[in-house]
Structure 1
Amino acid sequence: MEQTLSRREASEAVQDHGWRYVLGTLQTSVPVGTLARAVGLAADAVAVCGDDADRHLRVDVRAGLAVFTLQSSDHAAVTTRDVELARRISATVGESGFLPEPGPGAGAPRSVQLLEIAIDALDIAGIRPFWKAVSGYTDEAGAEGPEDPLVDPVGQGPAIWFQQMDRARPQRNRIHIDISVPHDEAPRRIEAALAAGGRLVSATRAPAFWVLADPEGNEACVTTWQGRDG
């Protein structure tokens, strides 16, 4: 029976198969050289997933690269079925002569990652309808409450979530970006941001997230799955 996995369980289940757990999904990227090869590899992945492809698999195909994402659309989480599909896809990728590269490969600008937009609000239920309407977003599966995140129904844009404020803070930005990265790549990303002129605002919730700021005080968080569950 399909079961939802904890963050740690999901990460450990696929780390030896070329996949990473990032923000409620399993992801891997496969350098393939040409768009035609990327499309062919995507078709192979869909075939090996069978009837589960539509409910679990997303593929971003472009010249030279195929990025595979697995998540149960019924649970909006990683399940035992997603782990099984990840292993099937890895086997298919290997049989085709390619190698998944969840981390930065030769010449790769970065690893797999996902972005979220975080909006600070005093009245989340009051502003959420505006952001849902203006973005064309919808409720995530199983999350239809007045304070729950919003997601792009076609999976192109970053999710939007709302952070509860206890008082107005006009002196600081009210929208920031969360960059979710594989847990063991966070230190390198933070080091690069600091070297580029940023500063560390807070690490009190690390390794769940570090708060960084640019030279003008605009904030971004580097986040991982660690420090959130067992």
Structure 2
Amino acid sequence: MSERADGPERELSRHEASAAVLDLGWRYVLGTLRTTVPVASIAHAADVAALAIDVARSHADEHLRIDLRRDRVVFTLQSLSAATVTARDTDLAERISSAVTDLELRTTPDVGDESLRSVQIIEIAIDAMDIPTVRPFWKAILGYDDEPGRTGPADPLVDPLGQSPAIWFQQMDESRPQRNRIHLDISVPHDEAQHRIAAALSAGGTLRSDANAPAFWVLADAEGNEACITTWQGRDG
């Protein structure tokens, strides 16, 4: 938690961040707030994006990221310098949702809708015996940067443009040559996890472990390749 206990830059706990935006159509996902606004065209998307930028004003560059598509706008809020959610972000979420509602549109996480993919964040996890040795290779070959505030030899790597999955490294105690050593973490809204797990199982997957649920569930495809569904829950205390 930040030393600044009060004010708009106060860092929020996972529970605080989730609760603050749950009824606004946003979801807390892996240190960010995310939502989708359905639109009719790319031009319409640009108008909605411009509205959000106007609402955020001087805070837009530090807190707001926008992905425009022909059928939707995806908004992400995070205090970029701290790589976490602050009170400023939840305030901006409320203001953006209010402005969108005035246009007779809506902010929605698309949770539980089989026809639409919910908001999510993908990470790639790499198992390694010697993380400080392999980490520079992945940083160089991907053109990635250190995550803000985390520059240690075993810390995650991120795409400086925010377009591609983050990379994090999982310490191995011994070599496991018959096990896949790179897997995907799919971070979804807490109320989307069971929908996603059910879909994966129906598609031929198996549940390998729920010992750490609801923080994460380990699933595998028919050949044993693993992936994790993760949420913010179960990670505090």
Alignment length, in residue pairs? 230
Aligned residue identity for 2:101: G
Once the two structures are overlaid, the 10-residue window that deviates more, 98-107 or 109-118, is 98-107
Q: TM-score with structure 2 length normalisation?
A: 0.95
Contact kept in structure 1, 2:111 and 2:189, CA below 8 Å: no
- Measured in 1, the distance between the counterparts of 2:236 and 2:19 equals 13
Aligned residue number for residue 52 of structure 2: 45
TM (norm. structure 1) is: 0.98
1:101 maps onto 2:137 in alignment: no
Q: CA deviation at 1:105?
A: 8.0
Once the two structures are TM-superposed, the CA of residue 33 in structure 1 deviates from its matched residue by 1.1
After superposition, residues 215-226 of structure 1 pair within 5 angstroms as: 215-226=222-233
* Structure 2 residue 150 is the aligned partner of structure 1 residue 143: yes
| Aligned-partner residue type, residue 97 of structure 1 | E
Check if 1:82 corresponds to 2:83.
no
CA-based RMSD of the aligned residues comes to: 1.1
SS, match of residue 229 in structure 1: coil
Which residue number corresponds to residue 192 of structure 1? 199
The runs of 5 or more residues in structure 2 that have no matched partner are: 1-6
Partner of 1:203: 210
Q: 2:32 maps to which residue?
A: 25
Structure 2 CA distance for partners of 1:185 and 1:105, relative to 1, 3 Å? closer
What percentage of residue pairs aligned between the two structures are identical? 64
Give ranges in structure 1 of 5+ residues lacking alignment.
Answer: none
Partners in 2 of 1:103 and 1:64 — Cα distance?
Answer: 13
User: What's the counterpart of residue 70 of structure 2?
Assistant: 63
The residue aligned with 1:10 is 17
Letter in 1 for 2:76: T
| 1:107-153 Cα shifts (integer Å, max 9, x gaps) | 74211001000000011111000000000000111000000000000
